[in-house]
């Protein structure tokens, strides 16, 4: 007999599933109401249970996923939260893997942390678990930039490292990034193998904790000096700095780790007029003066820009809490401070470094560059002019680090970058490095000044010589469990029903990095599997859709190339490109307009 009430049956199924999930969440939460969980954690869970809110569901509906880079999430009690218990289990799994990879060896690990709330507590807990598993631990005595952790792994000949940070995320977040013996973040096969080991940890009872303090060694000023010496060796125009080191720079660390090294690095390089933003100098995990401690967000640099205007500074620099990203502002043709985006800064660094090496005859043998699939194609055009190959990787600096490791026996990495304000010069660090980038950006500005050219004029000259490219990033945040499902639905819809045109321009190819296929033609992407879609338009424009691996966001990267004649004003040309990007986004995401 046919079902006369299909909607009613579906409702019963939905209710049953909801009640089953709710019961599981209650059971998981109840298991946190006794040892080994401390009293403060138990009380927090009791409050969640009593509240009967979505927060309880979000805290316990799943185990916080240990991804290919580690952990990142909201701090608090629960299996889906960052706390000493989830971090402890992750560290136990990593310890098991290291002991399996290096049986009978003296295993060494380095640990750093940023300025976020609980970062020191988490770092000390990580150190204790490693030491309790028989590993020798090198723990920075205080907060330090992430790139220095990468350097420390190589300098101290460690097998692995961990930095406790959530990078540029909001204040309620923290995280745990894992590095391998080359100083780069985990990549295949170690990433999946570590995930397997972490998933095998049945509970916090499996975590070894015996306070083996004799295995924990502090890292202090000596390593700072070794790192700063390496940064100083990157200089390409020391004579320009020596003759005009009074370039007026306003720098802000946005309450993060950058204040420990960037002012020292700039001073060591010869810059004498570096001013900081007093309201933001202190390390503070609440980030009280900014809505978001992310230099990609224009508002994050408001205080620095105000001070720069007040004192007549030439340039503004700002770094995120763990100092791997840097944003800058320079003076334009109207003597007004304007922010540059990550693609623009990366392109200028690439041109400056390749041009100076060429002029000085210091280009390394068999040089190569690295960039990601969402980074501007302008870098390729610049590198082509200097006859230096560019290798393109998936999004994420760990892939550029992997590229360096794979090719270091056959060539020399010179510079690389990604659109999200991360750059790397040289290879003594294997992650994006805002410390060395700050020094190189300042040196570039002084060198240009010696040639009667500003950084902004250098950008315009680069567009005219190598191609006028404009890019935009749109991030859509979808929080919680429902948000993750909405993002998955958006990607599924674009895969199953890709657009045929955008802004009236035909889409010539679609690259699906999850299947590894470029259609039509069924070509392969040649890159690892990743949940990314790219739409290539007939006019050379490119649109990329990519869910974030570290935040509840889906990101859309728009990259277009247009004409820029000698008669065009920059303002008019940029306005035309912005209108085109608006039209592309309106067609791709009509519900967002």
C-alpha span between 508 and 520 (Å, rounded): 8
- Do 36 and 205 meet the contact criterion of CB atoms below 8 Å apart? yes
Question: How far is residue 176 from each of residues 260, 261, 413, measured CA to CA in Å?
Answer: 21, 22, 27
Closest-CA residue to 19 (of 9, 30, 31, 11): 11
- Do 432 and 424 meet the contact criterion of CB atoms below 8 Å apart? yes
- Chain-centroid distance of CA 334 in Å reads 33
Identify any residues that bridge with 370 across adjacent strands, giving them in sequence order. Answer: 391, 416
**Which pair of structure tokens corresponds to residue 525?**
């992407």
Provide the total of helices (H) and of strands (E) in the chain, helices listed first: 19, 23
H or E element: which one contains 49? Answer: helix 39-51
Cα dihedral 375, 378, 383, 389 in deg (nearest 10): 40
Q: Who contacts 318 (Cβ-Cβ below 8 Å, separation ≥6)?
A: 251, 252, 253, 254, 295, 300, 301, 304, 326, 327, 328
C-alpha span between 516 and 527 (Å, rounded): 7
Rg (CA), the chain: 25
Closest-CA residue to 352 (of 411, 403, 298, 415): 415
Catalytic residue selected from 115, 119, 167, 437: 167
Terminal Cα-to-Cα distance of the chain (whole angstroms): 47
167 is catalytic: yes
Instruction: Give 592's DSSP letter.
Output: G
**Which pair of structure tokens corresponds to residue 80?**
């889906």
Closest-CA residue to 440 (of 335, 283, 326): 326
| Residue 369: other Cβ atoms inside 10 A | 24
Q: Who contacts 589 (Cβ-Cβ below 8 Å, separation ≥6)?
A: 474, 476, 556
The residue to which tokens 């190189």 are assigned: 440
- Chain-centroid distance of CA 218 in Å reads 27
Q: With b meaning 16 or more CB within 10 Å and e meaning fewer, what string describes 105-118?
A: eebbbbbbbbbbbb
- Do 304 and 321 meet the contact criterion of CB atoms below 8 Å apart? no
Q: Who contacts 467 (Cβ-Cβ below 8 Å, separation ≥6)?
A: 377, 378, 381, 561
Phi-psi region of 480 (alpha: psi -120 to 50; beta: other; left: phi over 0): left
Residues with active-site annotation: 167
């Amino acid at each position: 007999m046919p079902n006369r009430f299909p909607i009613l049956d579906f409702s019963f199924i939905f209710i049953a599933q909801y009640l089953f999930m709710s019961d599981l969440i209650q059971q998981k939460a109840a298991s946190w109401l006794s040892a080994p969980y401390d009293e403060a954690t138990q009380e927090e869970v009791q409050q969640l249970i009593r509240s009967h809110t979505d927060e309880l569901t979000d805290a316990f509906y799943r185990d916080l996923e240990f991804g290919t880079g580690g952990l990142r999430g909201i701090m608090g009690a629960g299996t889906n939260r960052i706390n000493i218990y989830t971090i402890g289990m992750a560290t136990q799994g990593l310890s098991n893997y290291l002991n399996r990879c290096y049986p009978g060896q003296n295993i060494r690990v380095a640990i750093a942390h940023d300025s976020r709330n609980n970062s020191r507590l988490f770092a000390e807990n990580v150190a204790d678990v490693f030491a309790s598993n028989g590993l020798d631990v090198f723990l920075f005595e205080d907060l330090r930039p992430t790139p220095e952790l990468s350097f420390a792994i190589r300098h101290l000949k460690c097998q692995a490292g961990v930095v406790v940070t959530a990078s540029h995320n909001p204040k309620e977040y923290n995280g745990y990034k894992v590095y391998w013996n080359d100083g780069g973040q985990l990549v295949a096969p170690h990433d999946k193998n570590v995930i397997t080991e972490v998933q095998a940890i049945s509970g916090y009872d499996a975590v070894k904790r015996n306070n083996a303090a004799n295995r924990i060694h502090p890292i202090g000023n000596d390593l700072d000096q070794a790192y700063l010496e390496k940064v100083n060796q990157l200089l390409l125009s020391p004579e320009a700095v020596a003759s005009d080191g009074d370039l007026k720079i306003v720098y802000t660390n946005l309450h993060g780790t950058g204040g420990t090294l960037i002012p020292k690095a700039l001073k060591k390089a010869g810059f004498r007029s570096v001013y900081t933003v007093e309201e933001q100098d202190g390390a503070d995990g609440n980030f009280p003066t900014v809505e978001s401690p992310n230099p990609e967000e224009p508002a994050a640099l408001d205080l620095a820009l105000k001070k720069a205007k007040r004192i007549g500074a030439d340039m503004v620099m700002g770094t995120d809490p763990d100092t791997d990203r840097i944003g800058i502002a320079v003076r334009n043709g109207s003597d007004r401070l304007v922010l540059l985006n990550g693609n623009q800064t990366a392109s200028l660094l690439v041109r400056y470094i390749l041009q100076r090496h060429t002029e000085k005859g210091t280009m390394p043998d068999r040089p190569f560059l690295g960039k990601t699939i969402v980074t501007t194609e302008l870098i390729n055009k610049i590198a082509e002019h200097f006859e230096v190959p560019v290798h393109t990787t998936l999004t994420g600096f760990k892939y550029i680090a992997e590229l360096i490791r794979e090719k270091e026996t056959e060539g020399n990495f010179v510079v690389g970058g990604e659109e999200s304000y991360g750059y790397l010069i040289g290879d003594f660090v294997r992650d994006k490095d805002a410390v060395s980038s700050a020094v190189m950006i300042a040196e570039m500005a002084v060198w240009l000044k010696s040639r009667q050219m500003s950084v902004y004029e250098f950008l315009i000259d680069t567009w005219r010589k190598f191609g006028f490219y404009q890019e935009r990033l749109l991030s859509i945040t979808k929080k919680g469990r429902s948000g993750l499902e909405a993002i998955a639905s958006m990607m599924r819809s674009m895969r199953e029903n890709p657009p045929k045109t955008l802004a009236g321009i035909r889409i010539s190819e679609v690259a699906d990095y999850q299947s590894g296929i470029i259609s039509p033609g069924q070509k392969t992407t040649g890159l690892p599997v990743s949940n990314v879609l790219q739409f290539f338009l007939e006019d050379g424009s490119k649109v990329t859709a990519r869910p974030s691996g570290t935040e509840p966001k889906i990101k859309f990267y728009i990259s277009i190339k247009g004409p820029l004649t000698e008669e065009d004003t920059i303002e008019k040309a940029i306005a035309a490109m912005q209108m085109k990007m608006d039209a592309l986004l309106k067609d791709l995401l009509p519900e967002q307009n």
